[in-house]
Amino acid sequence: MDLPDFGIPPRLARRMSMAEQHEYLRTKLSRRRTLVTAGAVAGGLLTGCSGSGSGAGASGTTASVSAPASTLTKVPGSAVAPFGRHLAFGADPRTQMRISWQVPAAVKKPYIRVGLRPDDLSRRIEAEVRDLRTPELRGIRAALEQYYLHAALDGLRPGTTYYYGVGHEGFDPAAPGNRSTIADFRTAPATPETFTFTAFGDQGVSEAAATNDHVLLRRNPAFHLHAGDICYANVKGLGKESDAYDPGFWDLYLKQTESVSRSVPWMVTTGNHDMEAWYSPDGYGGQLARWSLPESGFDPRTTPGAYSFTYGNVGFVALDANDVSYEIPANRGHTDGRQTKWLDERLGELRAAKDVDFVVVYFHHCAYSTSTHASDGGVRAEWVPLFARHQVDLVINGHNHVYERTDAIKNGEVGRQVPIGASTDPTRDGIVYVTAGGGGKELYGFPAGVEESYEGQVTERESVATFKWTKSRDTKAESVEWSRVRYRGFSFLSVEAESGAKPRLKVSALTQTGKRIDHFEVRRGR
C-alpha cells in the first residue's frame, strides 16, 4: 500500500534536526488543514538506522488498544479497565516510587490505593493524566488518543513491601471483583545489602521479548535497566516514506511488559527509535507522557532519558546518547553540552560518596561494539574520557541486537584481558563495556568471518575488523582486539551486587532458556 504524500522526503529528513522535522510537520499539516500521524513522520527523523527490520506484529496493521477519539467521552468508568502498569524509582529508591499506567478511554478522578497489606489499601493518592493525541493517517487508521496516568509515592519506608491498586471513578481496585488487579513492590533497603538487577535494550513487541521478561522475572531483580529502543512504534527508522509509525504499539508493549514492570521498576532510557517528531521539537514528548523517571537535575522536562539514582552500594546513571551520536544526528547537541557537564559532575559526586562502591552507566548507542551499528565515535569523544576519569565500573549499551562484551578497555585499547569467569579492577585495568541488545528485536550478526565466542563455545581470535562512526557521518575502519565475548541470540544481563568488606559485581549474561553464556566479576582495589 502506498502511503499518502505527507511524510518528510528522505533526502530532506537526513539534513534536518529533530526540531526542524517537528516544525516542518506542524507547518505543513497546518497549511493543509489536515492531521497526520506521528507516523509517516517519525520515519523521516531516524535517518541512518539500518538493519532493524519490522518486528513480530509490526506490520501495517493497526495495533491500537486505546479507543478512537470519537468514542472516548461515551465510555462509563466502570467499563474502563486500567492496563500497562509500570513502576520506576523516584530520586531516592528507599522512599520514593512512581506508578504509571494506561486507560483505553478518558476517565474521571484517577487515583491509586496503597497499603502494607493487600486487604488494606487505605492510603489514596490522586493521579496525574498525561494524554497524547496522534492524528489520523488517512487510509491506514483513525486518529488515536492515549491516556497515561502517573502517581508519585513519597515518604515510603525503606526495605518494605507495599501493595497497590490503580483506579478511577467507577473502577475501585479494592472492590471484590477487582482485587486481582492488586500488585506489589518493594522499596530499597535503608543500608546496602546484596541485590540483583537485570538489563537489556532493543526489546519491541514479540514472543521473544515477552519470553525475556518472563525469564528475567525469575531472577527476582530489584529493578531492570532498559538501554533504549523500547517498543519500536517507529518500526524501521530508515528515513523513508515507507516508514510507518503506529503509537498503538505502545499499548501492546505496556500490556506485554506489565507482568514484570508492575512489580519491578522499569528504568528506561532513550534510543534512536524512541524519538518521535510529531509530539515535540526534541522528539521526547511521547516519552514524557508515558514514563515517570527520576529528574536529571539539568533538564528533566526535555531529556527524560538522563537521570541517576543510588540503590544499595551502586550508583546508576542513565544517559540520552542521541545527544552525542555521530551515526544518527537528528538530536545531536540538543542539550548544548549540559548533559555532558551534568554527567561529569554526577560521576564525581557518586565516586566521592562513601556508601557507593560501584558506578554503572547505561545508554543506547555503543561505545565499543563490532556488530551492525558498530561503535559510535560521538560517544567515545564526549563520554568515554569521563568514564575513565571517574573510573566507572561497568557500561551497558544496546543498539546492536546481540550480546557482546569487551575486555577491560583503557586509553582505547585492551588494558587487561577479561576471559569468561575472570575478575577485573577498573582502578587498574580499565572499563568493561557490555552490549546487551538481545532484548527481543530481530537479531544482528558480527562481521563476516567472525565467529561467536561464549561460555561453552569459546573461539580465540587476535582481532576483529570493524568500524566506528565519525562526526561527518562516515565510517572509519578499525581492527580491534577488545571483543572478548560474542553471542548472537536473545539474552539479558543479570548482575548481583554484593556489599561489605569485599564488595563486588557478579555479572552474568543469560539466554532465554536461562543458560549462562558469560560471567565475570568487577572488584575495586583487589
The helix/strand/coil state of 394 is strand
Question: Are 356 and 350 a contacting pair, CB within 8 Å?
Answer: yes
Rounded to 5°, the CA angle 298-363-361 comes to 80
d(CA 491, CA 509): 7
Residue 110: all three cell numbers together: 484517577
- The mean pLDDT of 208-237, rounded to a whole number, is 93
Beta strands in 446-525 (DSSP E): 464-469, 475-480, 483-487, 491-498, 504-511, 516-522
Q: In Å, what is the CA distance from 103 to each residue of 79, 127, 178, 205?
A: 11, 12, 15, 19
Write down the residue that cell numbers 551534568 correspond to: 342
Q: Which three cell numbers stand for residue 81?
A: 479497565
Q: Are 209 and 261 in contact (CB under 8 A)?
A: no
| pLDDT category of residue 241 using cuts at 50, 70 and 90 | very low
Distance of alpha carbon 131 from alpha carbon 140, whole angstroms: 22
Write the DSSP string, 3-40: PPS-S--HHHHTT--HHHHHHHHHHHHHHHT----SHH
pLDDT tens string 96-135:
999 999 999 999 999 999 999 999 999 999 999 999 998 8
pLDDT reported for residue 294: 94
Among 237, 178, 229, CA closest to 204:
229
Q: What are phi and psi of 310, to 5 degrees?
A: -120, 130
Closest by CA to 127, choosing from 104, 146, 144, 107, is 107
Query: Which are the contacts of 346, defined by CB distance < 8 A and separation ≥ 6?
Result: 297, 308, 317
State pLDDT tens for residues 471-503: 999 999 999 999 999 999 999 999 999 999 999
Structure confidence at residue 1 (pLDDT): 29
Does residue 229 surpass a pLDDT of 90?
Answer: yes
Helix axes 248-261, 207-217, angle to 10 degrees: 20
User: Where is pLDDT greater, at 62 or 105?
Assistant: 105
pLDDT of residue 109: 97
Q: What's the CA gap between 344 and 419, in Å, rounded? A: 30
Query: pLDDT digit string (tens) for 371-407?
Result: 999 999 999 999 999 999 999 999 999 999 999 999 9
Angle at CA 319, nearest 5°, toward 314 and 320?
Answer: 165
- For the cut 50, the answer to whether the pLDDT of residue 239 exceeds it is no
Q: Which residue has the higher pLDDT, 55 or 97?
A: 97
pLDDT, residue 470, reads 98
> Which has more confidence, 221 or 36?
221
Share of residues in the chain with pLDDT > 90 (%): 76
User: Does the structure show a pLDDT above 70 at 42?
Assistant: no
| Nearest CA-CA partner of 449 in 437, 436, 461, 434 | 461
Which pLDDT score is estimated for 240?
Answer: 37
In this predicted structure, the answer to whether residue 44 has a pLDDT above a threshold of 70 is no
The better pLDDT of the pair 272, 243 is held by: 272
Q: How far apart are CA 21 and CA 41, in angstroms?
A: 8
Among 478, 457, 459, CA closest to 467? 478
Output the CA torsion sign for 262, 267, 272, 276: positive
pLDDT at residue 38 in the model: 35
Residue 224 has pLDDT above 90, yes or no: yes
How does pLDDT run across 399-457, given as a tens digit for each residue? Answer: 999 999 999 999 999 999 999 999 999 999 999 999 999 999 999 999 999 999 999 99
Which strands form 375-376's sheet, in the order they lie side by side? 375-376, 464-469, 475-480
